[in-house]
Amino acid sequence: MKNSILQTKGILIAGPCSAESEEQLISTALELSKIEEVKVLRAGIWKPRTCPGGFEGVGTKGLAWLAEAKKQTGLLTATEVASPKHVEDALHFGVDVLWIGSRTSVNPFNVQAISDVLKGTDATVLIKNPVNPDIQLWAGAVKRIQQSGIENIGLVHRGFTSYGNKEFRNAPMWQIPLELKRQFPELPMICDPSHITGNSDLVASIAQKSIDLHFDGLIIESHISPRDAWTDKKQQITPLMLQEILSSLNRSLVDLDQLDVEVKIDALRYQINQFDDDLLQLISSRMKIAERIGAIKSANKMEVVQTSRWNKVLEKVVTQSRDTQLSEEFVLALMELLHSESIRIQRK
Ligand code: PEP
Ligand code: MN
């Protein structure tokens, strides 16, 4: 990496999720430029939206606003690119840092097309993790961009889509970025707590966690008036809030050995949480069936509790459980608990 802004220790990139108007972008940039740590202004010009019909970004005209913001504040600028045309336009307007978003890094065709158009430029490129927790896919995107001859590359951890997970917008699964950091020790790993949490109240704690895990910098969404934001309203913070968070962060580094244990436990706890979610869903589905049986029994004036059927269920489950490490007492107690809830629901 040569003379890259990405080499700045603890680099901080901040700015709105989307550029909405020149006024919104410049006023946010002016406030952010008062914060010493902020080196780069981010703003999405082309927005990948999950469903059609939403605001898809202001498009190329926003690039002129970024250039104006840079002129007025001295901040470098960054925007998301998802196609060769985006790369050409952004470079033409002098955008300093391009980032490949999660919905693009997931697709090798798109990453390759971007890599091809980057050839021969001296662009600085951030590669966000793909939406799904696939470390090879993320590493593959990095290798494709490296093959274009681009030297100034950074990684951005923004968490992973996970079905049923409620705690975060995108589950952090810290073991994945840490493993990628081991594979590419020369590339800075930047944390995006805004897209991990999806919640402005949690941004500080995830930013702190990333510092504890020796991440190299932060990219944080900041909007002059978050409640009026056109995209990602819930996760953006004002420049003032950003300043407060920055001064609250503890930058003394925790011992890495101790940390590894914590990360391992965190990864396992994450899996436990996933299983708990699944268990609740499964039990609830089981009860919905019991409810239907209850309705049939009641319409036909049948007894709710049918001992011979229940004994067969228990026998089957106990036999199956012999192949697991679960004790027979546990399995019977669990089934009793399920049965009594099922009876309660059927009697309703
Ligand atoms: C963004 O940075 O605004 C964005 C769309 O991010 P991601 O690709 O992480 O979803
Ligand atoms: Mn966003």
Considering only CA atoms, which residue is closest to atom 3 of ligand 1?
A: 17
Instruction: Quickly state the pLDDT bin for 3 (edges 50, 70, 90).
Output: confident
Please state the atom number of ligand 1 nearest to the C-alpha of residue 159.
Answer: 9
Which ligand is the nearest neighbour of the Cα of 194? 2
Which ligand is the nearest neighbour of the Cα of 101? 1
Indicate the range of 96-100, 176-180, 259-263 predicted with least confidence. Answer: 259-263
Percent of the chain's residues with pLDDT above 90: 83
Dist. CA 279 → ligand 1 center (Å):
31
Which residues does ligand 1 sit against, CB inside 6 Å?
17, 44, 48, 80, 101-103, 128, 158, 195
Structure tokens at 196: 């991990």
Dist. CA 239 → ligand 1 center (Å):
19
148-165 pLDDT, tens per residue?
A: 999 999 999 999 998 776
Please state the atom number of ligand 1 nearest to the C-alpha of residue 129.
Answer: 9
Considering only CA atoms, which residue is closest to atom 1 of ligand 1?
A: 17
Q: Is the pLDDT of residue 260 over 80?
A: no
Residue of higher predicted confidence among 254 and 185: 185
The domain segmentation of the chain, as residue ranges, is 5-253, 259-347
Dist. CA 159 → ligand 1 center (Å):
10
Instruction: Among 195, 196, 230, 234, say which to mutate for ligand 1: greatest number of ligand atoms within 8 Å of CB.
Output: 195
Percent of the chain's residues with pLDDT above 70: 99
pLDDT score recorded for residue 165: 65
Considering only CA atoms, which residue is closest to atom 2 of ligand 1?
A: 17
pLDDT score recorded for residue 20: 98
pLDDT score recorded for residue 133: 93
CA dist., res. 97 & res. 6, Å (int): 9
Instruction: Quickly state the pLDDT bin for 311 (edges 50, 70, 90).
Output: very high
Indicate the range of 82-96, 120-134, 289-303 predicted with least confidence. Answer: 289-303
Query: Radius of gyration over alpha carbons of the chain, in Å?
Result: 25
Dist. CA 305 → ligand 1 center (Å):
53
Dist. CA 18 → ligand 2 center (Å):
7
Considering the segment(s) 259-347 as one domain, its CATH architecture is Up-down Bundle (1.20)
Dist. CA 102 → ligand 1 center (Å):
6
For the chain, what is the mean pLDDT? 94
221-242 pLDDT, tens per residue?
A: 999 999 999 999 999 999 999 9
Q: Is the pLDDT of residue 259 over 90?
A: no
pLDDT score recorded for residue 271: 79
For residues 134-141, average pLDDT:
97
Query: What is the SS3 assignment for 318?
Result: helix
169-204 pLDDT, tens per residue?
A: 999 999 999 999 999 999 999 999 999 999 999 999
CA dist., res. 45 & res. 15, Å (int): 12
Dist. CA 48 → ligand 1 center (Å):
8
Same topology, domains 5-253 and 259-347? Answer is no
Which ligand is the nearest neighbour of the Cα of 44? 1
Q: Kindly report the backbone phi and psi dihedral angles of residue 280, in degrees, each rounded to the nearest multiple of 5, phi listed first.
A: -60, -45
Considering only CA atoms, which residue is closest to atom 10 of ligand 1?
A: 102
Instruction: Among 55, 102, 160, say which to mutate for ligand 1: greatest number of ligand atoms within 8 Å of CB.
Output: 102
DSSP string, 102-161: HHHHT-HHHHHHHHHHHTT---EEEEEPPSS--HHHHHHHHHHHHHTT--EEEEEE--B-
pLDDT score recorded for residue 28: 98
- In order of 225, 280, 291, 307, the CA distances from 341 in angstroms are 48, 13, 11, 16
Dist. CA 101 → ligand 1 center (Å):
5
pLDDT score recorded for residue 195: 98
**Counting beta carbons within 10 angstroms of the beta carbon of residue 110, is it exposed (0 to 12), middle (13 to 18) or buried (19 or more)?**
buried
Superfamily the domain 5-253 falls into: Aldolase class I (3.20.20.70)
For residues 115-137, average pLDDT:
97
pLDDT score recorded for residue 315: 95
